Amino acid sequence: MTITPPALSVFETLESEVRSYCRGWPAVFDHARGSRLHDEDGHAYLDFFAGAGSLNYGHNNPVLKRALLDYLERDGLVHGLDMATTAKRAFLESFQNIVLRPRDLPYKVMFPGPTGTNAVEAALKLARKVKGRESVVSFTNAFHGMSLGSLAVTGNAFKRAGAGIPLVHGTPMPFDHYFDGRVPDFLWFERLLEDRGSGLNHPAAVIVETVQGEGGINVARAEWLRALQELCERRDMLLIVDDIQMGCGRTGGFFSFEEAGITPDIVTLSKSISGYGLPMSLCLFKPELDVWEPGEHNGTFRGHNPAFVTAAAALDTYWADGQMEKQTLTRGEQVEEALLAIAAESGDPQARFRGRGLVWGLEFGDPARASAVCSRAFGLGLLLETSGPRGEVVKLLPPLTISPEELDEGLRILARSVRETA
Amino acid sequence: MTITPPALSVFETLESEVRSYCRGWPAVFDHARGSRLHDEDGHAYLDFFAGAGSLNYGHNNPVLKRALLDYLERDGLVHGLDMATTAKRAFLESFQNIVLRPRDLPYKVMFPGPTGTNAVEAALKLARKVKGRESVVSFTNAFHGMSLGSLAVTGNAFKRAGAGIPLVHGTPMPFDHYFDGRVPDFLWFERLLEDRGSGLNHPAAVIVETVQGEGGINVARAEWLRALQELCERRDMLLIVDDIQMGCGRTGGFFSFEEAGITPDIVTLSKSISGYGLPMSLCLFKPELDVWEPGEHNGTFRGHNPAFVTAAAALDTYWADGQMEKQTLTRGEQVEEALLAIAAESGDPQARFRGRGLVWGLEFGDPARASAVCSRAFGLGLLLETSGPRGEVVKLLPPLTISPEELDEGLRILARSVRETA
Amino acid sequence: MTITPPALSVFETLESEVRSYCRGWPAVFDHARGSRLHDEDGHAYLDFFAGAGSLNYGHNNPVLKRALLDYLERDGLVHGLDMATTAKRAFLESFQNIVLRPRDLPYKVMFPGPTGTNAVEAALKLARKVKGRESVVSFTNAFHGMSLGSLAVTGNAFKRAGAGIPLVHGTPMPFDHYFDGRVPDFLWFERLLEDRGSGLNHPAAVIVETVQGEGGINVARAEWLRALQELCERRDMLLIVDDIQMGCGRTGGFFSFEEAGITPDIVTLSKSISGYGLPMSLCLFKPELDVWEPGEHNGTFRGHNPAFVTAAAALDTYWADGQMEKQTLTRGEQVEEALLAIAAESGDPQARFRGRGLVWGLEFGDPARASAVCSRAFGLGLLLETSGPRGEVVKLLPPLTISPEELDEGLRILARSVRETA
Amino acid sequence: MTITPPALSVFETLESEVRSYCRGWPAVFDHARGSRLHDEDGHAYLDFFAGAGSLNYGHNNPVLKRALLDYLERDGLVHGLDMATTAKRAFLESFQNIVLRPRDLPYKVMFPGPTGTNAVEAALKLARKVKGRESVVSFTNAFHGMSLGSLAVTGNAFKRAGAGIPLVHGTPMPFDHYFDGRVPDFLWFERLLEDRGSGLNHPAAVIVETVQGEGGINVARAEWLRALQELCERRDMLLIVDDIQMGCGRTGGFFSFEEAGITPDIVTLSKSISGYGLPMSLCLFKPELDVWEPGEHNGTFRGHNPAFVTAAAALDTYWADGQMEKQTLTRGEQVEEALLAIAAESGDPQARFRGRGLVWGLEFGDPARASAVCSRAFGLGLLLETSGPRGEVVKLLPPLTISPEELDEGLRILARSVRETA
C-alpha cells in the first residue's frame, strides 16, 4: 500500500505534533462498518483496536445507527446539559432494568461529562469529599486519564511528565502479579496501612482497573480483587473500579468486576457505554456516597442525548439476556488458542500472552518487535496497537461483535506479522 | 403549567444529587428546533441559554443536520482517536481557510479531547512545559472547568471546595472593572511581577476570558486586554484566552478577542465549535509552542468525527463572509435597548446590565430577585439562567440564529418576569 | 586594613559557598563587648547590625554573662528537651510577671525549637490545625525563615527558588504603603475575601511583621495593623505577628505591636529573646488555641537552658520598668535626626529613610550605592548591612544598649561613607 | 519520691499542652554532671537518654566546660551569623583534621542553622536543586524533623497530622528488616525505578538513618546500606544519611555509616556535634554538590560560636585517636549481654532487643509494658524513654562516657523495672 504524502499534508502542517495514532497508521480513514475501516484510497482494515475499546459493538452498528438516525431526524434534543430529557430517561430506565437490577447493584448514576477522565475526576473528587482525605492509592502501570486529577493516579512516566507540575496526592502500589507471585498480595500495602509510622498518608480511596489495558493487558485475579475489596473495607478506604476500558462487556460480563463477585464503592464507565463511539461517561456510586451538592460538579456536555439514545439501544439489544457474555467468552477462547501457537512460534523465548474475554496481550521481550508486528499488520490490513510501559505488548481489542471468521482472519494476519518480524 | 411528579421519578431516584439545571427547569425535554425546545407534555420554551453557549446556531440547525445525517447514513467513521480522517481533514481545511487565514492567525490545532476542560488542561500543561514553571495567573470570577487543573484556575469557592484537595499553583488577579476604575489596571499584578520580593511565583501563563460568563457577564475592555497582552510579553508569560463560551461568534467576531486586536499565545475553543451541540474542543497555539511529544497528551474521544462534520458545515455556512458577525451585533443592539428599559423599570436601584454581541447580563442587587426572574420566565416559557458569584445576574445567551421576532418575544417575557417579581 | 588571604583559607576551602556575611565583612572576628567586635588582627568594629537583631543588649552583656557563667559553673542543666527545669521556671515566671501580665496578654508559651523558623513553623501548623484550612496570607517582602513552611510565606524570589519544590498554600498581599497610599488599605484583600468567586482559598491565618526588616525596613502604620486585626476577626482568620526581629524592644515596647494596641492570636519571638545571642525562640498564643496534643510538635533543642538563664536575666534587668523603652525611643530620635541630614546630603534624589525605635533604613535609588556605603563603612570600622528586595536599603540595627556617643560615632561613619560614595 | 504539685504549676498554667517529656518525668531538674541529673528536691537520676543523643560526652563534661567558660570569660564572640571567627576556624580545622581527613571524606561543610531539622531542610533543598526534581524517598518509621520539609519525609502519622497541610513530594520505602527477610532488599524500590509505568516520580534523593532511633531502634545491616548506595548511584539519586542521632560516635565510629564503608552524597549532623548540648548542626556534602549561591539558605543562629568551641574541644579530646570508638563498642557488649538476660526473663515471649554501639532497644509485645517499664525506672532513678511507632520499644541511649559501673547500675534498674512490670 502506498500513501501519497500530500494526502496527509493538512494534518502535518496544521495539526499539533501531539498526534500519535495517525503516525502508526498512515492512512486517511473515511468510513467503517462492523469490524472494518476503509480509507479514502479504498483500502480496508480489519479492526483489532475498536477505538481503544470504544467500539465494542463495531463501527456504525446498524441497530444503534437506526435509533440514532431516528432521533436526529425527529429533532430529538441533542445538547441537554443536565436537564431531564426523554432520551436520558430511556437510558436511565434501561440501565436500571438491564444492568443494575439484575446484578443487584445499588448505584446512583452521575453524568460527569462525556469522557473517561471526567468520570475519574468526579470519582476522585467524591471519594475525597466523603472521606475528608486527599491521598489516593493507584497501581503500577495504571492508566486513568490526562487531566491533572486523573494523571496523578496514572503510572506512565512520559505522560506524567507532561503535567508540568509535580503530581502529588497519589501513591502507587504493586498490581497483581507485579512480583510474579514471589511476594504475598498486598504485603506492602497492608503493612503501610497498619504501621502508624509508615509515612503513608491514609488514602481516601483505591482506584484500580481489573485488567490494565494501557499498562500492558495485566489481568488481576478474582481473588486479588476480592482481597483488595476486603482490605478497603477493613482500612476505611473507598474502592473505585475504573471500568472505562474493561467494562461494557469487554471481559465477558457487563462489568469486568462481576466475575470476582465484588461491589466497588464507585465505578467509572465510558468508551463503549454509548455503544456507537459517541462521547459519554458515567460515574456510579453507592447511594450513601451521594453527598454532592447540586451543581458542585458540572460540565457542558454532560447531557449528550444522541449518546443516551445509542447507549439505551445497545443495552436493549445486547444485554437483555446473557448471549453477549457467552459469545465474548467463546471468542476469547478462539483468541487464546491462536495466541498459544503464535507465541510458541514467535522465536522469542520471552514471548507471553494473557487476557480475559476479548482483551488480550502478546508480550515480546523487545518492544521493537511489538512495534514491528503492529507495523507489519497494518501493511497487511489489520489495525493493532502496542501497550505496556515500554510498548512491549501487542494489544488485541477487537469489537465484541466480530464474527469468528473475521477474528480468525485477523489472528492469521497477526501470526504472519509475528513470523515475518522474527 | 403542571409537571406530573411521577414523570421525574427515575431522575430523582437514580440520578445523583449533583444534577442542577433540571431543578430550575422542571420539565422533561424531548425535541428542539432553532430557538425552541419542547417538553414531552407539549410545552414549548424559547431558549435564551443555548446550552450554555453550545448552540450558537440553534437546536438541530437544518444545514448542519443534513451534513450530519449524510455522514452517519453513509457510515462515515464515527470514532477516530487521533487518526487522520476525511472528516477531520475537511474540518481542518475549513478552519484554516475560513477562520485562521483571513484573520492572519498562525495557530497549530490540537484536539485535546471533546470538552472544554480537556482543552484548558491541555493549554495549562503546554504552557507549563514551555516555560518550565508551575504557576498560572487567573482572574477573579473566572470559570475554566471542573477537572483539577482547570478547577485550580476557577474562582468559584463552592466549585473549588468540591476538589477535595487544596487547589494550588494558581493566583487570582483582579479582572477588569473589579474596582470600578478606582485602581489603575494591573497595578497590583505588575507590581508583584517587578518586585523580586513580592512572593509571587513567576507565572508560566495568564488565562483569561474576554467576557466572563459564569462569573456574571463581566466584559473586559479592549484596552484592558491589549494591556494584558503587553504585560504578558514584557514579563515572559504566555497569554491563554479561554474562548470556550465567548468564541464561535458569541460576541460578534469568530473569536471574542478579535475586537481587541490581540493574538493570544494559546486559545481554547469548545461549546459551539461543533455547531450542533456535539462534544468537541480545540486548543490552538502559536507554532513555536508546539513542543508536544507525540502522544504526550491523549484521550479517547479526541476524534469525534460527526462533530468535525457539523463543525465544518457550520464554518462553511456561517463564517465564509461577515454576515454572521454583523447580524450578531445588530441583535445585540436589540437586546441592549430592551435591557435599558427593563433595568430602568425593574424597581431595583442596583439593577445594571452589560454585555457584548449576544451575551448579556442583567444584574440585580438581590440574588433572590434574579432567581425569581428566571423561575417566572420558565413559567412563561423562556429558559434563562443566573450567573455571577452570588447568582445575582440573569444571563441572556440566545442562539445567534435567533430571529428578531423571537428575540423580541423573549425580551418581552423577561420584562414581564422582572415586573412581576418586583 | 589588610586581611591576609591565608587567614581565610579554611573558610574558603572547607565551608560551603552558601556563606554570605563573611564575604561583605572579610575579617576573622574573635571577641566582642557591648557595641564593638574585634577581629584577630586587633581591629575594632562598631556594630550597627547586632546579629541581625539578636544582640539587642550588646555583645557579652556583663549582667547576662555573670548569670550565664554562674549557671554553667554550678553545672546547671544545659540540655533539657522539654523537661521542667529550674532555669525554665525562672524564665517562665519572669516572662509572665514582667512581659505578659503588665501588658494584659493572655498567652500560653510554647518552646518550638531554638530558631525563628522553628517558631514560624509551629505557628503555621497550629493555625492550620485550629482552622482546618491550608492557606495562609503573607505580605509582599515578608521574611519568615528558610525551612519549607516558613519559606512559603517569605517573599524573596531568590530565597524561594532555593526550595527546589513549588512553594504553595501561601498568597501575598500588599504590605502597608505598597502603593504609597494610592490604593485604600486592604481593598484587594478584603474584596477577595468577600467575593465568593474570587478564587482565593479562605486563609487559616495572616502572618505579618510590623516592621519588615529583611524586606527593606518597611514600617506598618498602627492604624494599618489595627485594620488588619479587625479584618482577621471579621473574616475568621488568625493573626500571627512574627516579632522575631522587631520584638524584644527593638521598636521601643517589648512587643512591636504594642504601639498599635492590637493583640495578635499568635506571636513568634526569637533572636534577642535569650539576650545573649544564644539560640532560643518562643511561640505565644491565646489559650483557646492551645489544641496541641502532647508531643505533636517536638525538637531536640527546645530546652536550651543557658538561654533561659540569660533570657530571664535580660527581662529582670531591662524590662522591670519602662526605662529601656524610653531610652530606645530617645536613641531613635538621634538616628532619625542624623538620617535627615545624611539623606539630604547624599546627592541621591531618591534617597529616603524610615524606621521606628532603633531600626532604621536608608534607601538609595541604586542598590549599588547601598552596597558601596556598607563596604566603605566596613573599611571605616562600622558593620552595616543592606536589605530590601534589591538590596537598596542600608539597615541600621545597633544594640539597644548603645551609648549616645557610640551611636553618634557610627552615624558619623555612615555619613562619611555616604559622602564618599556619592 | 513525691513531687509537690505547686512546684510544677507555672509549667502547667503557662506552658503549652504540647510539652511531653516533662509528663513522663515529673521532676524539676536543676543540675547535672556526667551521667547523672539532679532535681531541685535533691533526687539524682541516672541518664539513659542523654538528651535524645545530644549528650554523648555526658552532662557538663569538664573538659568541654573549661573550654566554654574560658571562651565566655574572655568575651569570645557568641553570635556570629555566618561571619568568619576564630572559634569557627578552630572547629573547621579540627573537623577537617580529626574527622574528615582520616576517613578520606571529601565533604564541604555547611552551617545550616543550629538544629537537626535545619540541616535536613538544607540537605533536601540542595538535593532538589542539584537534581531538578522534587521527589524524595524516605523509609518506613523514619524521623527527620518537624518543619514542613523534614516532616514530609518523617513516617509517624501523629506527627504528620500536625502539619495542617497534605505532606507531599515524599514516598516511603521499606526499611531494612521491614518484612523480616521474607522479601528481597529493595525489590519494590528498584522495580518502581526501573518500570517507566510505575507511577513513582523519579526521586532526587533518598534519605536514610542507619539506625532509626525514634522509629524503634531499627538497625540497618551494612550490606543493606551498601546496596542502597549502589542503587542510588545506578538510578541517579543522591544518598543522604541523616546522622543527627546516630553520628558523633553513638554507634562506635564517628559516623554511623563508616562500618558499612559507604560515602553518602550528603550527611546531616546535629545533637552531639557541639558535645555540650548546645544547639549546632552541620550539613556535609560532596564538593561537586556545592551549588549554593551565597545566602541562598540562611538563618540567624548559624554561627553559634560557643557551640563551635565545645565542638572543637570534643573532637580534640575524644576523636584524635580510636579510643572512644573502642570503648563504645565495649560498653555496647555490656548492654547486649544484659539485655539478653532481661529479655529472657521478661515474661514477654515477644520481647526482643537490638542495637549497635551504645544505642539499644528493648521491644515488648505490648506498648503499655514499655511505658510501664520507663515509668517504674523513673521511680527508681533512671531516665528511659520509649520509641517505635506504637511506643513499644524501650530505648537505651546512655552517654558514651558512662562508666562500666554506672552502666551496670542502670541496667540493673532496667532489669528490676522489667521484672516489676511483668
Give the helix/strand (H/E) hosting D312: helix D305-318
Are C10 and D76 within 8 A, CB to CB? no
DSSP-assigned states of every residue in C309-369? HHHHHHHHHHSSSSHHHHHHHHHHHHHHHHHHHHHHTSS-TT-EEEEETTEEEEE-SSHHH
Q: Distance from first CA to last CA of chain D, Å, rounded? A: 22
Decide if pLDDT at D1 tops 50. Answer: no
C-beta of residue A108 within 8 angstroms of C-beta of residue A290: yes
> What's the pLDDT tens digit per position in D138-171?
999 999 999 999 999 999 999 999 999 999 999 9
> What's the pLDDT tens digit per position in C184-238?
999 999 999 999 999 999 999 999 999 999 999 999 999 999 999 999 999 999 9
Chains contacting B (3 or more CB pairs within 8 Å): A, C, D
> What's the pLDDT tens digit per position in A223-243?
999 999 999 999 999 999 999
**Least Cα separation, residue D14 to chain A (angstroms):** 31
Decide if pLDDT at D128 tops 80. Answer: yes
- Interface residues on C facing B, Cβ-Cβ cutoff 8 A: 134-135, 138-142, 153-158, 160, 166-172, 174, 178-179, 182-183, 187-188, 191-192, 195-202, 215-216, 388-390
> What's the pLDDT tens digit per position in C6-57?
455 899 999 999 999 999 999 999 999 999 999 999 999 999 999 999 999 9
Cβ contacts of B165 on chain D, cutoff 8 Å: 166
Q: Residue B326: count other Cβ atoms within 10 Å of its Cβ.
A: 11
Decide if pLDDT at C177 tops 70. Answer: yes
Cβ contacts of C165 on chain A, cutoff 8 Å: 166
Share the mean pLDDT of chain D: 96
To probe the interface with D, which of C3, C18, C81, C280 has the most D CB atoms within 10 Å? C18
| C134 → closest Cβ in B135, B140, B166 | B166
> What's the pLDDT tens digit per position in D248-258?
999 999 999 99
Average pLDDT over residues C87-113: 98
Cβ contacts of C166 on chain A, cutoff 8 Å: 165-166
> What's the pLDDT tens digit per position in D355-380?
999 999 999 999 999 999 999 999 99
C-beta of residue A300 within 8 angstroms of C-beta of residue B115: yes
Give residue C123's pLDDT.
98
- Among A3, B105, A261, smallest CA distance to A253 is for A261
Share the mean pLDDT of chain A: 96
Give residue D8's pLDDT.
56
C-beta of residue C87 within 8 angstroms of C-beta of residue D105: no
Contacts of A129 (CB under 8 A, 6+ apart): A291, A292, B162, B164
Are C198 and B155 within 8 A, CB to CB? yes
Write down the residue that cell numbers 469487554 correspond to: A250
C-beta of residue C154 within 8 angstroms of C-beta of residue D297: no
Average pLDDT over residues A74-94: 97
Does ipTM come in above 0.90? yes
C-beta of residue D204 within 8 angstroms of C-beta of residue D127: yes
Cβ contacts of C75 on chain D, cutoff 8 Å: 31-33, 59-60, 65
| A19 → closest Cβ in B283, B294, B306 | B294
Instruction: Report the Cα D85 to chain-centroid distance in Å.
Output: 28
Are D11 and C77 within 8 A, CB to CB? no
Average pLDDT over residues A396-403: 98
DSSP three-state, residue D316: helix
- Kindly tell me the burial class for residue B294, based on how many C-beta atoms sit within 10 Å of its own C-beta (0-12, 13-18, 19 or more): middle
Cβ contacts of A165 on chain C, cutoff 8 Å: 166
Output phi, psi for D227, to 5 deg. -65, -35
Are D215 and A198 within 8 A, CB to CB? no
- Among C37, A216, C159, smallest CA distance to D78 is for C37
C-beta of residue C314 within 8 angstroms of C-beta of residue C275: yes
Give residue C8's pLDDT.
56
Contacts of A84 (CB under 8 A, 6+ apart): B8, B11, B22, B26, B27, B28, B29
> What's the pLDDT tens digit per position in D64-122?
999 999 999 999 999 999 999 999 999 999 999 999 999 999 999 999 999 999 999 99
> What's the pLDDT tens digit per position in D208-265?
999 999 999 999 999 999 999 999 999 999 999 999 999 999 999 999 999 999 999 9
Average pLDDT over residues C83-97: 98
C-beta of residue B174 within 8 angstroms of C-beta of residue C188: yes
Decide if pLDDT at B4 tops 80. Answer: no
Contacts 24+ apart (CB under 8 A), C71-75: C71/C305, C71/C306, C71/C309, C72/C306, C72/D60, C72/D65, C72/D68, C72/D69, C72/D72, C73/D69, C74/D31, C75/D31, C75/D32, C75/D33, C75/D59, C75/D60, C75/D65
> What's the pLDDT tens digit per position in A159-199?
999 999 999 999 999 999 999 888 999 999 999 999 999 99
Decide if pLDDT at C3 tops 70. Answer: no
pTM surpassing 0.90?
Answer: yes
As a whole number of angstroms, the distance between CA B310 and CA B316 comes to: 10
C-beta of residue D39 within 8 angstroms of C-beta of residue D45: yes
Q: Count of CB contacts below 8 A, A vs B?
A: 363
Cβ contacts of D163 on chain B, cutoff 8 Å: none
